[in-house]
Amino acid sequence: MQTSKNTILITGGATGIGLALAKQFAVQDNTVIICGRRKNRLEEAKAMIPGLIIRVCDVSIEDERVRLYEWSVKNFPAINVLINNAGIQQSYNLQKTIDISLVSKEVETNFIAPVHLSNLFSDHLKKQTEAAIINISSGLAFTPLAFMSVYCATKAALHSFSLSLRHQLSGTPIKVFEILPPMVDTELDGGDRDHRETRDRGMNADEFARQAIESIHNDEYEAAIGTAANLRSKREEAFGFLNH
């Protein structure tokens, strides 16, 4: 797929992986739109990336997803790429009572939002000469970290959904990509790595974005980046290693 001269919407684009993708797509002659919950972080991203278009949106809320779609296609009818990137990552001790509202927010953000947005945008994307839906899942879709059980389960669900979506859209101009990151050095974990005194911060976000965009350019529809390839190919061995 061509990775220039597109109009791209990235959810969760103000920080982390989403911001790294926005930066690299922007310098490749794309129109890049990002959305996120925090206006201040969106404005910081816009100050960093000339020409970036921002929109405040909490994708965990159904009405806001609908408004995002309506605003996007009205103001940017050439939009041809949707990147479902927004995510929440929580830790749970399943032997204790958990806050089910946090679980619901995580599932809504990580899984239901990509399903809903993909469905909302699909008819519009079908009208483009070349289009793509790009789901950012995780190597943890295949080999979960037990203390992040819900996050890993949502990514496993997103992997399954991506397979079905790709199959159902195979006769249309829409290409469906799934990018599986390894651990990436972002703020996604909310400081858990610091609490666990994790020395390995993970892959640099800009390097991840470079490899992800290269995979998209090469039409690699399921791209496991870095150590995510081992989590996919050596599931049992990797589970024992991750959860010892």
**In a 3-state reduction of DSSP, which class is residue 136?**
strand
151 is catalytic: yes
Catalytic residue among 69, 92, 151, 221: 151
Report how far apart, in Å, the C-alpha atoms of 159 and of each of 92, 100, 101, 110, 230 are.
Answer: 22, 23, 24, 11, 16
Give the burial string for 71-109 (b: 16+ CB within 10 Å, else e): ebbeeeeebbbbbbbbbbbbbbeeeeeeeeeebebbbbb
Q: Residues 6 or more apart from 119 whose CB is under 8 A from it?
A: none
Catalytic residue set? 151
